[in-house]
């Protein structure tokens, strides 16, 4: 397992943990099979909780692996060349996402964009295309979709795209 270099876990550490959980699930499945293979009914019944443990471990393995993927996306989103907004967008239609579980999709009519992770509740990883400044002087780097949304929704917000400036309100 990689040595931790930050206080937060690394995606590689979570992937290693998922592999360990997967190996443990395989071992419990083997033990359950060995119990089922005996001629003793008492031992055969003990296979049932072992099979449940195997299923539970498999579920945990999946959760850990999904967390590793999400952590990797969050860490990528810290790149200063990416959008600062802590939620995702459809890169074509903007703030039109819906999510359920580990899936997200654009709700714009005719858009087929979908993702096999909860893009709506994950920091945006689109390239920064503008600098937005709110009425209090707070600035942030935004992708074109978030910048367009900010210009429409935020009173007193100025957006600087590629060297020119627009103001809302």
pLDDT at 147: 94
pTM: 0.61
Q: Which helix (H) or strand (E) holds 15?
A: helix 11-36
Three-state SS at 119: helix
Q: How far from the centroid of its chain's Cα atoms is residue 154's Cα? A: 27
Q: Which helix (H) or strand (E) holds 28?
A: helix 11-36
C-beta atoms surrounding 141 within 10 Å: 19
Mind giving me the DSSP string for 29-95? HHHHHHHHTSS-HHHHHHHHHHHHHHHHHHHHHHHHHHHHHHHHHHHHHT-TTB---SS--BTTTBS
Q: What is the pLDDT along the chain (169 residues), one digit of tens a residue?
A: 555 556 888 888 898 999 999 999 999 999 999 999 999 999 999 999 999 999 999 999 999 998 988 888 888 777 888 898 999 999 999 999 999 988 999 999 999 999 999 999 989 989 999 999 988 888 889 999 999 999 998 888 999 985 544 555 5
Bridge partners (DSSP) listed for residue 99:
104
Q: What are the Cα distances from residue 108, in Å, to 14, 94, 129? A: 35, 9, 22
**What does the pLDDT look like over 63-78, one tens digit per residue?**
999 898 888 888 877 7
Do 59 and 93 meet the contact criterion of CB atoms below 8 Å apart? no
């Amino acid at each position: 397992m990689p040595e931790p270099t930050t206080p937060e876990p690394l995606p590689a550490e979570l992937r290693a943990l998922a592999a360990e959980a997967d190996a443990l699930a395989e071992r419990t499945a083997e033990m359950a099979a060995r119990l089922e293979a005996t001629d003793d009914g008492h031992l055969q019944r003990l296979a049932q909780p072992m099979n449940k443990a195997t299923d539970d471990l498999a579920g945990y393995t999946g959760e850990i692996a999904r967390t590793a993927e999400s952590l990797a996306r969050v860490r990528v989103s810290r790149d200063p060349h990416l959008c600062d907004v802590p939620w995702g967008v459809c890169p074509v239609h903007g703030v039109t996402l819906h999510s359920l579980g580990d899936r997200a999709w654009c709700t714009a009519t005719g858009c087929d964009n979908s993702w096999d992770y909860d893009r709506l509740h994950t920091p945006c990883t689109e390239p920064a295309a503008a600098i937005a400044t709110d009425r209090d002087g707070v600035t942030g780097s935004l992708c074109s979709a978030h910048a367009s949304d900010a210009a429409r929704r935020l009173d007193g917000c100025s957006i600087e795209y590629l060297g020119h400036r627009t103001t809302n309100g």
